[in-house]
Structure 1
Amino acid sequence: MADDNSVGAPLPQDGSARQLPSGSDRGDEKSSGFWSDLFAPVAGFGVSFSTMFRKVATEEYPEKPRPTAPRYHGRHQLNRHPDGLEKCVGCELCAWACPADAILVEGADNDDSPDGAGRFSPGERYGRVYQINYLRCIFCGYCIEACPTRALTMTNFYELADNDRGKLIFTKDQLLAPLQEGMLQPPFPMAEGMNEKDYYRGKVSGPTDGQREYVDARDARIDEEMSQ
């Protein structure tokens, strides 16, 4: 009967007879196998022992939040033009591009008539309702790529955890960028002599005197109505 160690062993290429291992070779193999089995657990613990003496990298969060990359995909923000008008025109392209169906947009028409709601954006429409459900959002950035006016961008803010599911549905007032110095609170007309394309080309650098006068008159009228 053939030796078990020879079963399945390849034949020599030169056609010579296959050489079976001698008794001493078999003994060496058994000896090396014994020592390897004996020290195998110790070798496994070697990885643990080597890490025990390394310096621990402690992150002091939330006292010292870790800085993010410049293009980190964090919480969204609805941006404004330099005079304060909203960049969002309510086109709903961001909602259509969202693969997680996390964005809800309802557009409305800008109304410059005396009895109308006023103008909130340079376009024909503006985003009357804007919501992002961060229970669904996967922060892929497709909505940013789809926005034709660069109204929607992503910030570096990432602390969005909460114990209330309702608080993770952000509304327009939470997403809209705050007014910077010199900006006016919409609604108010576009800058004199400027159209929608001029806004998107960056020709408007701030509010004009006519816009300031309109906002001052509007606020005075509102205060008068509230005092009556």
Structure 2
Amino acid sequence: MAIIKVTRPKLTLLEKLYFPSIVKGMFVTFKHAIRSLRGKSLGADSLNSSGLGVTMQYPEQKWDDHLPEHYRGVPALVTDEQDRERCVSCQLCEFICPPKAITIIPGEIESDDPWAKVEKRPKEFDIDMTRCIYCGMCEEVCPEQAIFLRKDYAMTGLSRADMVNDKERLYEIGGVRTGLVNKWNEIK
């Protein structure tokens, strides 16, 4: 095998000194500062709440209007129009989840229930938001369209326990989703 010796290019005197690069960087920063003070910055019209620059005032202003259509946020469980659980505890979302953030414990449906033909529903359904990577694989694999990624990006908590969404919390943030649900289909 041949060895190729690579020589470094020789630096000029200006390239050896750091001062010209520092001045050039300060010039770019100063130019952007002047443009923002004059209100000519990129996005200054839509985010200009303080009168200067393009700083978003977060609690009052949010990115909700600027989010793209394909944005993936916090996962949530949804119910149908008659407030019935869509989830059948197939556990596909739990198996496909790369960081293993989803935990499902299936439960039986009582035999006196009018929808006893459905095999099971989740007894417990937890999503650990400290592990979730918002990949959307749980939404794609769900056969009953029971789990959706909302356009909510502000998921906070004061402790790790606050960041684990249980079944009740997931249904609370998920709401109602309309459309055909295979679980409640009479023909199935």
Contact 1:78/1:151 (8 A) holds in 2? yes
* Residue number among 31, 53, 64 corresponding to 2:34 in the alignment: 53
Q: TM-score under structure 2 normalisation?
A: 0.69
Residue 64 of structure 1 pairs with residue 61 of structure 2 = yes
Give 1:106-121 correspondences, 5 Å limit.
106-113=105-112, 118=113
* Residue number among 116, 124, 128 corresponding to 2:123 in the alignment: 128
Q: TM-score under structure 1 normalisation?
A: 0.58
Q: CA deviation at 1:79?
A: 1.5
Q: CA deviation at 1:122?
A: 6.7
Instruction: Assess, with a 3 A threshold, how the Cα gap between structure 1 residues 99 and 196 changes in structure 2: closer, same or farther.
Output: farther
> Higher Cα Rg: structure 1 or 2?
1
Q: Which runs of 5+ in 2 are unaligned?
A: 1-6, 37-52, 178-182
Tell me the distance in 2 between the aligned counterparts of 1:44 and 1:170.
46
Q: CA deviation at 1:112?
A: 2.7
Secondary structure of the 2:89 match is coil
Q: Which amino acid aligns with 1:64?
A: Q
Contact 1:86/1:121 (8 A) holds in 2? no
Secondary structure of the 1:107 match is strand
| 1:39-64: CA deviation from partner (whole Å, max 9, x where unpaired) | 82433422122122021212011111
RMSD: 2.9
Instruction: Assess, with a 3 A threshold, how the Cα gap between structure 1 residues 162 and 119 changes in structure 2: closer, same or farther.
Output: farther
| Structure having the larger proportion of residues in helix | 1
Instruction: Assess, with a 3 A threshold, how the Cα gap between structure 1 residues 52 and 123 changes in structure 2: closer, same or farther.
Output: same
Tell me the distance in 2 between the aligned counterparts of 1:151 and 1:61.
31
Q: Which runs of 5+ in 1 are unaligned?
A: 1-7, 9-31, 181-189, 198-228
Match of 2:186 in 1: 195
Give 1:1-228 correspondences, 5 Å limit.
40=20, 41-55=22-36, 56-67=53-64, 68-113=67-112, 118=113, 123-176=118-171, 177-178=174-175, 195=186, 197=188
Instruction: Assess, with a 3 A threshold, how the Cα gap between structure 1 residues 119 and 163 changes in structure 2: closer, same or farther.
Output: farther
Contact 1:110/1:121 (8 A) holds in 2? yes
Tell me the distance in 1 between the aligned counterparts of 2:140 and 2:18.
60
Q: CA deviation at 1:66?
A: 1.5
Secondary structure of the 1:164 match is coil
Instruction: Assess, with a 3 A threshold, how the Cα gap between structure 1 residues 37 and 173 changes in structure 2: closer, same or farther.
Output: closer
- % of aligned pairs identical? 26
Secondary structure of the 2:153 match is coil
Tell me the distance in 1 between the aligned counterparts of 2:84 and 2:136.
24
Instruction: Assess, with a 3 A threshold, how the Cα gap between structure 1 residues 54 and 125 changes in structure 2: closer, same or farther.
Output: same
Range with bigger deviation, 159-168 or 132-141: 159-168
